[in-house]
Amino acid sequence: MKKFKNYMTNLRKGYLANLTNVMQNEKMSAKEQKSFLNCMCRNTGDGMLGSHIDGKGICLSCGPLSCWPIPISTKKSGVLKCLNQIARERYSGDQAIFKEFHKLDEETYKKMHQLIEESNSKVVEDRVKKIYELIKTMDQDYEKKAFKAANIFNLAKEFMSQKDKKEIKSILIPRLRNIAHLRMSKRGDIKGAIEAIKTAQTLDEKNDALQRDLAQYKKWLEPWKRVVNEYIPDIKKDIDRGELKKASQKFRDIATKTSNGTYPPTSDPRWLNLSKFIDKKKIEISKKTQDTIKNIDDLVQKSDPKSALKLIDDFPKSWENYSDMVESKRESVVDRISNATSQEKAGDTSQENGDIYQALSHYKKSQELQKNRSVKKKYDELKDRIAKAQKQLQKGRRLWRDGELQQAIGEVTQAQKLVTNNKAINKTLKAMHIQKKMMDETLKKADRLIEYKKLDQARDTLRKAKRINSKYPPYVETIERLNGVKKSKKKHQEKLATKTKTTKIDLGIKPSSLVGRWSFGRSVHYGKSVDEHLCDLTLTSELVEGVGYKIKSCHPNESYWILEGERLLFVAQDKTVTTKFIQVEPDYWEGAYIGNIHSNEKIMHYLKRLKSIDKSHTDKADNASINKSKLPQVDTKMVVKSSKDTIQNISKPISVYNGTDGLSLTKSTFEPKEKITLSFKASPNYPKKSWIGMFKADLPHDGMSANNNKELAYYYIEKLSNGTFEFVAPTKEGDYDFRMFESSNGLEVVMVKFKVRELTLDRDKKSKNYKK
């Protein structure tokens, strides 16, 4: 190469010297001379980037990678072309110079041509050697050296021998074709492949194979450009969005067109990498889907379905099958949220209804399904209420043990208000109320016994109360009262013991002190303590000779009274003594009933003063005398509470008739819950649903529609013309009636009245004087 440069420099000096002389003779300016030389150099060079004269006056031809010196062409057409260019650059006055150059003498041209031929022959030898050197070392920088060898060949082929041309072409053309194929198939570089084929065509323009390759590459250029510029970016977008199914289908469509020749059979990495991108994205999406599903399950497990639902909503819907996998979790999550809300509402309803424990259970289930601050707050409030109720329950129990029953009931009642359905609280409160009721009833009974001076019975009763609750304040008060009465009675007995015993009527007690109204009843019946009021009676001062003083009483067994020493005797109408009383206190007497009774029917009567003494009769009673030998005997005793209801009135039957209709009762007065037999008569033409009902007497008689559903009991007549129905008397005393209704017109056709009164009857059914 160095020799070639030296040679070219010497040649340039000789050739350019002659040319310079010619140009100077033709009076060319330095600028015109430079322009002329550049024109000659450009006409000679065929580098891709053109040719030019460098600063040293060497003609250089340039390609994409380098520039190299070349011999100037000797073609006359090139010289004339450059002269024409100079001529066009000159002014109109310089046309003569152009003509002189045009008439360049043959001798000068031949000399220039000979010099150039000698120079070119040496250059070609060097070029051929260079080409072979590049071919031998083409394993490295394959494409670069192939193109460089082709460019050198094109510069020197005009001066090469046919043998060199043929040999170099046979080597370079297949290699350039191979480069084109590699560029197309490996990189998808169709444009680069076309460039390689065109370079190969510069070596052999008439090669058919190159023409077919060029045509095929040009055919693939635009479609593949669309694939690269449009389809591949579009597929990448689908991949980025997770639409792998769509991206895979587009990829397969391109692959199909590649196999049928629509697109080149390329291994373009931009194309082949799509498959890798799809697989990689598929793995990435699959992992993210699995992670999302796991996170959803974890959130549901942690009772946070709302966050799980947000993960489902945020999961890309474009991820096709993977999105369906995540979406399949939505229903269960939504159901969990819905169930949590339902449990919360159920808890609110239970709390409104007072069912605290049920509400607590609902709130707990709601929290297990879904954590919620408001539900947790409600749950904690209920827990606090229950804890507070438990504290009050414990406090109430302590007070109960200490005998503070009333305060204990107050504490437990407050606990019950906090928690209404707590079994322990309710059971404790119920037990407290039962105990209080038992204590109150027992103490009330003890108070009555103390009042009637039955101190031993009162003491026994209080022993029962002591076993129940000895610290109950009313119990302590009753004990103190009993002790006081016992002391008072003891003093009274001591006082009586000092008096002289006598059988005279006026000894110690005067009859006048007993005249007046008294409460008469039983204190013992069948050996058991009772407090049974029989009636109010009046001890009068009206004396019946040979019997005693009259008694305004409710029964013949208590018709007369006499005072025998310190004993008060009741006498029946048949002059038989029935009861002997002894004075317990000034206004309280007690004695045994000695009439005709069963052996096991032990009866004790009491008298308790009701009104003050009637002074108008005291003298008569005090001065009266009684013949006791003539006292009557009686063996029957009946006591009726109401003095208005005589035995005759109670037992009297009653009937009411209205033409063909009638109602009949066996008597007019019944005891509560006593069986009532009602006889009836009715027209057989009455409808089947005509009926008889029991009503309160104060209910207006406004027909069936006004009385319907207000009856106490009823029977349908069922088209019977007569018959009997059995009813049970109401428990409440009062006036009642039976009414018959005809259902066709709703009219009341007949009515009979009756009364309910509480009666106490003691009868000796074995007595021959007993009458039903």
Alpha carbons 87 and 97: distance in angstroms, whole number: 8
Residues 676 and 731 in one domain: yes
List of residues 6+ apart from 606 with CB closer than 8 A: 452, 519, 520, 521, 522, 523, 588, 589, 590
- The DSSP output letter for 353 is T
Q: Specify the number of domains making up the chain.
A: 3
Domain assignment of residue 194, yes or no: no
Domain assignment of residue 47, yes or no: yes
Cα dihedral across residues 540, 541, 544, 546: positive or negative: positive
What range does the domain containing 625 cover?
511-630
Per-residue model confidence as pLDDT tens digits over 464-523 = 777 777 777 888 888 888 888 878 777 766 765 664 343 333 345 778 888 889 999 887
Domain assignment of residue 724, yes or no: yes
| CB count in 10 Å sphere of residue 42 | 19
Mean pLDDT of 746-759: 86
What CATH number did the domain enclosing 563 receive?
2.40.128
Domain assignment of residue 73, yes or no: yes
What local confidence, expressed as pLDDT, does residue 767 receive?
36
Residues 9 and 115 in one domain: yes
Alpha carbons 417 and 186: distance in angstroms, whole number: 88
- Residue 726 banded pLDDT, cuts 50, 70, 90: very high
Per-residue model confidence as pLDDT tens digits over 562-572 = 987 778 899 98
Which is more confidently placed, 736 or 435? Answer: 736
Q: Percentage of residues in the chain with pLDDT exceeding 70? A: 75
Residues 694 and 586 in one domain: no
Q: Percentage of residues in the chain with pLDDT exceeding 90? A: 7
Domain assignment of residue 617, yes or no: yes
What CATH number did the domain enclosing 736 receive?
2.60.40.1930
Per-residue model confidence as pLDDT tens digits over 258-304 = 766 677 766 666 766 777 777 777 777 778 888 888 888 888 888 88
Mean pLDDT of 80-103: 59
What local confidence, expressed as pLDDT, does residue 343 receive?
87
Per-residue model confidence as pLDDT tens digits over 313-354 = 887 776 666 677 777 878 888 888 888 888 888 888 888 887
Domain assignment of residue 541, yes or no: yes
Residues 612 and 654 in one domain: no
- Residue 617 banded pLDDT, cuts 50, 70, 90: very low
What local confidence, expressed as pLDDT, does residue 149 receive?
81
- As a whole number of Å, the end-to-end CA separation of the chain is 167
Alpha carbons 417 and 630: distance in angstroms, whole number: 72
What local confidence, expressed as pLDDT, does residue 316 receive?
75
Radius of gyration of the chain (CA): 71
What local confidence, expressed as pLDDT, does residue 636 receive?
33
What local confidence, expressed as pLDDT, does residue 601 receive?
60
- Residue 686 banded pLDDT, cuts 50, 70, 90: confident
What local confidence, expressed as pLDDT, does residue 724 receive?
92
What local confidence, expressed as pLDDT, does residue 99 receive?
52
What local confidence, expressed as pLDDT, does residue 331 receive?
82
Per-residue model confidence as pLDDT tens digits over 648-680 = 445 567 888 777 789 999 888 998 988 999 999
What local confidence, expressed as pLDDT, does residue 267 receive?
65
Which is more confidently placed, 398 or 765? Answer: 398
596, 577 contact by CB (below 8 A): no
Residue where a domain stops, chosen among 138, 172, 198: 138
Residue 6 scores a pLDDT above 90: no
Residues 126 and 13 in one domain: yes
What local confidence, expressed as pLDDT, does residue 92 receive?
45
Residue 627 scores a pLDDT above 50: no
Alpha helices by DSSP H, listed for 208-304, are: 208-226, 232-241, 244-259, 269-301
Residues 91 and 20 in one domain: yes
The full DSSP string for 45-65 is: ---TT-EEE-TTS-EEEE-SS
Mean pLDDT of 718-734: 90
Residue where a domain stops, chosen among 86, 119, 138: 138
Alpha carbons 557 and 756: distance in angstroms, whole number: 25
Q: What is the mean pLDDT of the chain?
A: 75
* 492 φψ region: left (φ > 0), alpha (ψ -120 to 50), beta (else): alpha
Q: Minimum mean pLDDT among 28-37, 171-180, 614-623: which range?
A: 614-623
Per-residue model confidence as pLDDT tens digits over 360-396 = 888 888 888 888 888 888 888 888 888 888 888 888 8
List of residues 6+ apart from 504 with CB closer than 8 A: 565
Per-residue model confidence as pLDDT tens digits over 114-155 = 656 555 566 666 767 777 777 766 666 777 878 888 887 777
Alpha carbons 28 and 21: distance in angstroms, whole number: 10
Residue where a domain stops, chosen among 577, 598, 630: 630
Domain assignment of residue 710, yes or no: yes
Q: Minimum mean pLDDT among 556-570, 582-596, 679-693: which range?
A: 582-596
What local confidence, expressed as pLDDT, does residue 112 receive?
58
Distances (CA, A) of 122 to 6, 57, 75, 216, 483: 11, 19, 18, 41, 162
What local confidence, expressed as pLDDT, does residue 498 receive?
60
**pTM of the predicted protein model:** 0.37
What local confidence, expressed as pLDDT, does residue 74 receive?
58
Q: Residue 40: which of 22, 24, 61, 62 has the closest Cα?
A: 61
What local confidence, expressed as pLDDT, does residue 678 receive?
94
What local confidence, expressed as pLDDT, does residue 768 receive?
35
Per-residue model confidence as pLDDT tens digits over 550-560 = 998 878 888 99
What local confidence, expressed as pLDDT, does residue 652 receive?
66
363, 370 contact by CB (below 8 A): no
Per-residue model confidence as pLDDT tens digits over 170-198 = 888 888 888 878 777 677 777 888 888 88
Residues 72 and 9 in one domain: yes
Residue 634 scores a pLDDT above 50: no
Angle at 455 between CA 451 and CA 457, to 5 degrees: 105
Residues 14 and 97 in one domain: yes
What local confidence, expressed as pLDDT, does residue 227 receive?
79
Residues 39 and 122 in one domain: yes
Residues 7 and 128 in one domain: yes
Domain assignment of residue 128, yes or no: yes
Residues 616 and 740 in one domain: no
Alpha carbons 277 and 284: distance in angstroms, whole number: 10
Residues 619 and 651 in one domain: no
